[in-house]
Chain A
Amino acid sequence: MKAFTYERAKDAQGAARAAAQPGAKFLAGGTNLLDLMKIEVETPAHLVDVQDLGFDKIEETREGGLRIGALVTNTDLAADARVRRDYSVLTRAIVAGASGQLRNKASTAGNLLQRTRCPYFYDTNMACNKRKPGSGCAAIGGYSRQLGVIGVSDKCIATFPGDMAVAMRVLDAYVETIDAGGQRRAIPIADFHRLWGDHPEQDTVLKPGELITAVTLPKPIGGKHFYEKVRDRASYAYALVSVAAVIQPDGTGRVAFGGVAPRPWRVEAAEALLPQGAAAVTARAFQGATPTKDNAFKLPLATRALASVIAQSKA
């Protein structure tokens, strides 16, 4: 690991200012950042620890929703009685990810900012445009079973690996931030993660030093909530394909897919086809998909996972 200096930020804007300096990075739980620092995929010169900023509460909003502090741990978010009652797709997604130990340390903001688990991103001997812009992509033409089938580019075919964000996508969450100048904004989660395009080194739309303070959920939308995750082990593995869904009694609803794209993959025109069945939804949602021979199985798998969710919603 490269040497770095460390500070504990006292206030949000001060943290943003410190992290806007070249080579600086925020540190929250550290479960992903430290992992990457050990293999020198991440080499920050300075860490700004944000744990003392008080963003560890879940509060009700005036609009009847919830405001989740950026530092609320995955465990505390999943276990919150209001989340379990009104947004259980979120609880289900969180407990489907990682392990108990990791969920106790990992934060809400850190989970959104986790980097891809593409094996070529992790292997510093391999070409990777995300890790080293312009070096090429060893995953294209390489072993791509876990990798993306849609929204990817000829520079990068990695996926966003998380579960929590897929549930937040069907809940139309907002990501609240503050920047070094004290400016605040609320970014719809639909726009938060970038498609790779020509710049796969940029995972999100955040500016240097822009600090996530909270994630807000609009008021509950009712319906039955599902998070169906298909993976190589029964527990503690990344999704090959996952489906977050909220299905209403009349068969309409919302659907987003995980493990397939650079961001939680939700196509509103596709979910409008829910009453016609899973195949209609996925045909539209994955229109224009560019799977490899290794990961083409993800397309029928997405259809089957959604079919399972629809069947459960009718039970």
Chain B
Amino acid sequence: MKETMPKTDPGALSMSRRGVLAGGAATAAMTSAPAAIAQEAARATAPAPSQPAPTMPVSLEVNGKRQNLTLDTRTTLLDALREHLHLTGTKKGCDHGQCGACTVMVNGVRINSCLSLAVQHQGDKVTTIEGLGTPDKLHPMQAAFVKHDGYQCGYCTPGQICSAVAVLDEIKRGVPSHVQADVSARPQVTNMELRERMSGNICRCGAYSNIAEAMEEVAGVRA
């Protein structure tokens, strides 16, 4: 899913949503000048760093494409995707692994990209929402989210969809869950299972029941 809308004059949309958000942040900063001054003062008293922050080369395969980057070691996988590769479909919500907006798949399993350093993923295969489908050719899970109204504001949606795709695979592979009566049995696609397994993806708009319905449809279960 791209940030700019397709089938529109690109010139009319030269200001992307991202640009608008950045502009908004600048406005907010101007209105909190005392805080900014305090921050400057704090910076002035802090000892100057003796050397620049360490950087390292990182090679990732993102959505099937090899990407070679040189990154500050502190760069999370999320920031590498968003700020360096400009794949802004993956969202930063809490940045602490609590909300799931940053969910991507690494080597086939879903993780929180905010709680992983890019340098930990040397050579890894990363799939983001941009790698699942395109506006012209939606992934079945994307199409099901649209059909079942599995979102409202849409901010958590890329993470929800990556998680949803991975959850169906986890059930297929027999990964157990908390709601199974017998953890030695194979898990089944039930509404309870989907709700439990999606609990790491928070949706403030509360589209949960529609998300579970979308997942059931993709899994081939009658809702």
A100 close to B110 (CB less than 8 A): yes
B158 contacts the other chain (Cβ, under 8 Å)? no
B167 close to A34 (CB less than 8 A): no
B119 contacts the other chain (Cβ, under 8 Å)? yes
Please report the C-alpha to C-alpha distance between residue A78 and residue B72 in the assembled complex, in whole angstroms: 34
Which residues in window 76-120 of B have CB below 8 A to A? 76, 95-97, 100, 103, 109-112, 115-117, 119-120
With a CB–CB cut-off of 8 A, which chain A residues contact B95? 38
B175 close to A6 (CB less than 8 A): no
A88 close to B117 (CB less than 8 A): no
Interface residues of B (CB under 8 A from A): 49, 53-54, 56, 72-74, 76, 95-97, 100, 103, 109-112, 115-117, 119-120, 122, 163, 166-167, 170, 173-178, 183-184, 195-201
With a CB–CB cut-off of 8 A, which chain A residues contact B122? 8
B184 close to A101 (CB less than 8 A): no
B117 close to A31 (CB less than 8 A): no
B111 close to A235 (CB less than 8 A): no
Minimum Cβ distance to chain B for residue A162 (Å): 15
User: Which residue of A is nearest B196, CB measured?
Assistant: A235
DSSP class of B's interface residues: helix, strand, loop or mixed?
loop
* 9 interchain residue pairs of minimum CB distance: A99-B200, A235-B199, A3-B53, A236-B199, A84-B184, A95-B178, A104-B109, A6-B73, A105-B111
A38 close to B175 (CB less than 8 A): no
With a CB–CB cut-off of 8 A, which chain A residues contact B184? 81, 84-85, 88
With a CB–CB cut-off of 8 A, which chain A residues contact B96? 35, 38
Q: Which of A3, A49, A51, A100 has the most CB of B within 10 A?
A: A100
Which residues in window 87-111 of A have CB below 8 A to B? 88, 91-92, 95-96, 98-102, 104-105
A88 close to B111 (CB less than 8 A): no
Q: Given A84-B183, A96-B178, A235-B196, are A105 and B56 neighbors across the interface (CB < 8 Å)?
A: no
A4 contacts the other chain (Cβ, under 8 Å)? yes
A102 close to B176 (CB less than 8 A): no
With a CB–CB cut-off of 8 A, which chain A residues contact B166? 100
Please report the C-alpha to C-alpha distance between residue A27 and residue B201 in the assembled complex, in whole angstroms: 25
B111 close to A5 (CB less than 8 A): no
With a CB–CB cut-off of 8 A, which chain A residues contact B177? 95
B120 close to A30 (CB less than 8 A): yes
User: Which residue of A is nearest B166, CB measured?
Assistant: A100
One of A31, A85, A91, A233 near B112 (C-beta < 8 A) = A31
With a CB–CB cut-off of 8 A, which chain A residues contact B97? 31, 35, 101-102
With a CB–CB cut-off of 8 A, which chain B residues contact A47? 73, 117
Please report the C-alpha to C-alpha distance between residue A92 and residue B72 in the assembled complex, in whole angstroms: 39
Please report the C-alpha to C-alpha distance between residue A92 and residue B122 in the assembled complex, in whole angstroms: 32
B120 close to A101 (CB less than 8 A): no
Q: Which of A75, A101, A234 has the most CB of B within 10 A?
A: A101
Please report the C-alpha to C-alpha distance between residue A3 and residue B119 in the assembled complex, in whole angstroms: 14
User: Which residue of B is nearest A89, CB measured?
Assistant: B183
B76 close to A100 (CB less than 8 A): no
